[in-house]
Amino acid sequence: METDYQNLAFEYRRGPDQDAAVAVRHPVVVVGAGPVGLATAIDLAQHGVPVVLLDDDCSLSSGSRAICFAKRTLEIFERLGCGTRMTDKGVSWNVGKVFLQDELIYTFNLLEESGHAKPAFINLQQYYVEGYLAERAVQLPNLQMRWKNRVTGLRQQDDHVAITVDTPDGEYTLQAQYVVAADGSRSAIRKLMGLDTQGRVFKDRFLIADVKMKAEFPTERWFWFDPPFHPNQSVLLHRQPDNVWRIDFQLGWDADPVLEKQPERVLPRVRALLGEDAEFELEWVSVYTFACQRMAKFRHGRVLFAGDSAHGVSPFGARGANSGVQDADNLAWKLRWVLQGLAPDALLDSYAHEREFAADENILNSTRSTDFITPKSEISRTFRDAALKLAKDCQFARRIVNSGRLSMPTVLSDSPLNTADSDSFDGAMVPGAPCTDASIRQGGSDGWLLPHLGGEFTVLAYADGAQAAVAEVAGQLREVSGGAVPSRALLVLGAGQSVADDLNGISVVEDHAGMVARRYDLKARSCYLIRPDQHVAARWRDLSVDAVRDALARAIGQTKGPESCN
């Protein structure tokens, strides 16, 4: 019998901190046990940083909420120990259809090139995502989850943050060297600190109806502009696991949010889409508005904001939860490196820098989608309809039609942690890019590249050719990973190559299909420095120990500026 995550209640337990005479200090306190807080806490804990995770509630996401999880998010969850479970439970999809009135105007297919462990997207109710993460979290002895712990006070000191927490047993205080505020769009931490967010509120309302039914619809994303069953508005239909279907109705600004949630208003809308005879039950109903906004700064001293507390987007494009998990991925390793004394505190500034940049990109894309779906003027509506009408026959117009630009991980192209290219490379793996997956072989069995790249800094070098040349690259790799800044070495060998030498301490994979070489534009002796969050930090045509060490220093915030190496 599968756990009923929707109705799961976690127990409040009185902890030793509540009886301590002096407030107990922890390295990291994460506030908010949503996908972002859980991901941050798990990442830290599984790399040896003790974490306290506070949540003011004792249950998982109410309703399905975020349902689209992108490949990059699944790759991150894989590293956190629950990616496969998510993919197995989720509904993988890659076909979408766009309708104008009662006519199909085009079909798209997200199916990527093969050679990736994870699908482009899965649909999975947020309570499953949180449930699987929570179950992973309890496996980690150095991660303390504290339900019904509400933060009511926060004071920043020179070397810590003092936090007041309210519980069913009354208040207690604790201290944290760093606080991660992952407490959602209505962030209590943000309010306690007197901070706000800036952006644009959209004057439109949407109705979510999650419907349970045995349907004949294929597993596809269907988007209607101005359909006959819901004139002048848009509708989105999407499949989730357990025979649940997400239907998203645009209602317009004048809709009454309370009235529109009543079953007698919702059922006729659903029947108009599904047909009078359809048998279904309502699983969850919600009416929402949204804003595209962000905090001016994601770092305030020892408090770091991540996910919805830091930025908000429209739901079109699945950029909320997916970008929040990327925040967690970016932040966790930096906190660990700073707390373990491996990097200066300034490394945390780069979290804010990189993720503010990413938030701007997400806000730009989601604002553009919203402006297409909800035109703000008559002429905007005319151009929108013109693009839709042309899209039926003209390929170019399909690229203009915007029913959501689905989340892609941000290329951190202007990050101060990057070392600019000095050599010429083709392809997408520029400094700042998230590493792409590829099929490899290791020790005679098939595998994937990405599991060899996360967690630590990795120096990846490519060798192809004579044994002596391979041995030379291996020797240099060993020298690099023995430097002051810890890193590990990964030797990628051309197809059919093997090594006889003792490669103690160096992982070796075989690029049996030439996929790694193609996607990373590798030639013999090409070398990449890859961050713990699997973003490219630097790359060279010729592996050089000094160059790698310079780039490593820059990638942990020791050297300021992109080119000030000395």
Partner 1 sequence: MQLNTEPNLPNPDAFYEALIEMHQDLSVADSQMVNAKLILLLGNQIGDMVVLREAMALARKGINAGINAEIKPGINPATSPVADTGSEGRTL
Contacting residue, 220, 349, 371, 385, with partner 1 by CB under 8 A = 385
The stretch among 20-28, 44-52, 207-215, 356-364 that binds partner 1 (CB under 8 A) is 356-364
Q: Which is nearer to partner 1, 342 or 397 (CB)?
A: 397
For residue 362, count other CB atoms closer than 10 A to its CB: 27
280 — phi, psi (to 5°)?
Answer: -155, 160
Q: Which is nearer to partner 1, 130 or 329 (CB)?
A: 329
Residues 429/528, Cβ–Cβ less than 8 Å: yes
State which residue, 131 or 404, has the beta carbon closest to partner 1. Answer: 404
Residue nearer to partner 1 on the CB measure, 316 or 462: 316
413 binds partner 1 (CB under 8 A): yes
Q: Between 157 and 186, how does the x/- string for binding to partner 1 read (CB under 8 A)?
A: ------------------------------
Task: Assess 310 for contact with partner 1 (CB under 8 A).
Answer: no
- Signed CA dihedral, 64, 285, 320, 296: sign only: negative
| 3-class secondary-structure state, position 436 | coil
Instruction: Determine which residue in the list 138, 282, 346, 364 makes contact with partner 1, applying CB under 8 A.
Output: 364
- Residue 234 makes contact with partner 1 by CB under 8 A: no
DSSP string over 446-482? EEESGGGTSSS-EEEEEE-S-HHHHHHHHHHHHHHHT
- Give the residue, chosen from 414, 421, 423, 446, that forms a contact with partner 1 under the rule CB under 8 A: 414
The size of the interface with partner 1 (CB under 8 A), counted in residues, is 40
Using rule CB under 8 A, residue 219 touches partner 1: no
Instruction: Report d(CA 348, CA 556) in Å as an integer.
Output: 9
By CB under 8 A, is residue 402 in contact with partner 1? yes
Q: Does 420 bind partner 1 (CB under 8 A)?
A: no
b/e code 548-559 from CB counts within 10 Å (16+ = b): bbbbbbbbbbbb
With contacts defined by CB under 8 A, name the span among 82-90, 299-307, 358-366, 481-489 that binds partner 1.
358-366
Q: Of 427 and 482, which CB lies nearer to partner 1 in the complex structure? A: 427
What does the block give as tokens for 108? 């798209």
Minimum CB separation of residue 411 from partner 1 in Å reads 5
Q: How far is the CB of 227 from partner 1 (least distance, A)?
A: 17
Task: State the nearest-atom distance from the C-beta of 167 to partner 1, in Å.
Answer: 42
27 binds partner 1 (CB under 8 A): no
Its sign, for the CA torsion 353, 358, 363, 365, is positive
Under rule CB under 8 A, residue 284 binds partner 1? no
Distance CA 474, CA 470 (A): 6
Torsion of CA 336, 338, 343, 349, to 10 degrees: 110
What distance in Å separates the CA atoms of residue 323 and residue 318, rounded to the nearest whole number? 9
User: Who contacts 281 (Cβ-Cβ below 8 Å, separation ≥6)?
Assistant: 211, 212, 213
Closest to partner 1 by CB, 149 vs 436, is 436
Read off the amino acid at residue 251. Answer: L
410 touches partner 1 by CB under 8 A: yes
Neighbour tally for 7: CB within 10 Å: 10
Tokens 């000395």 correspond to 566
Question: Taking CB under 8 A as the rule, does residue 394 contact partner 1?
Answer: yes
Evaluate the CA torsion angle 215, 216, 219, 225 in order and state its sign: negative
Interface region with partner 1, contact rule CB under 8 A, candidates 296-304, 341-349, 406-414, 481-489: 406-414
Structure tokens, 526: 């090409």
CA distances, 227 to each of 85, 224, 525 (Å): 37, 6, 57
3-state class (DSSP) for residue 521: coil
Q: Which of 66, 208, 255, 387 binds partner 1 (CB under 8 A)?
A: 387
Q: Give yes or no for residue 405 binding partner 1 (CB under 8 A).
A: yes
Residues of 492-528 as b/e, b for ≥16 C-beta within 10 angstroms? bbbeebebeeebeebebbbbbbebbbebbbbebbbbb
- Is residue 250 near partner 1 by the rule CB under 8 A? no
Burial class (CB in 10 A: 0-12, 13-18, 19+), 173: middle
Question: Residue 555, interface with partner 1 (CB under 8 A)?
Answer: no
Residue 95 sits in the site that holds partner 1 (CB under 8 A): no
Q: Among 85-93, 228-236, 380-388, 544-552, which window interacts with partner 1 (CB under 8 A)?
A: 380-388
Region from 282-290, 355-363, 435-443, 453-461 binding partner 1, contact rule CB under 8 A = 355-363
221 in Cβ contact with 93 (< 8 Å): yes
- Asked whether position 371 contacts partner 1 by CB under 8 A, the answer is no
Q: Which residues in 102-141 contact partner 1 (CB under 8 A)?
A: 108, 110, 120
Span of 77-85, 236-244, 390-398, 490-498 interacting with partner 1 by CB under 8 A = 390-398
- Shortest distance (Å) from residue 61 CB to partner 1: 24
Nearest CA-CA partner of 245 in 70, 91, 69, 407? 91
What is the smallest separation between the CB atom of 534 and partner 1, expressed in angstroms? 15
399 binds partner 1, rule: CB under 8 A: yes
The distance of closest approach from Cβ of residue 247 to partner 1 in the complex, given in angstroms and rounded to an integer, is: 18
Tell whether residue 98 is a contact of partner 1 (CB under 8 A).
yes
Q: What are phi and psi of 212, to 5 degrees?
A: -100, 125
Which residues contact partner 1 (rule: CB under 8 A)?
96, 98, 108, 110, 120, 317, 319, 357, 360-361, 364-365, 379, 382-383, 385-387, 389-390, 394, 396-411, 413-414, 428
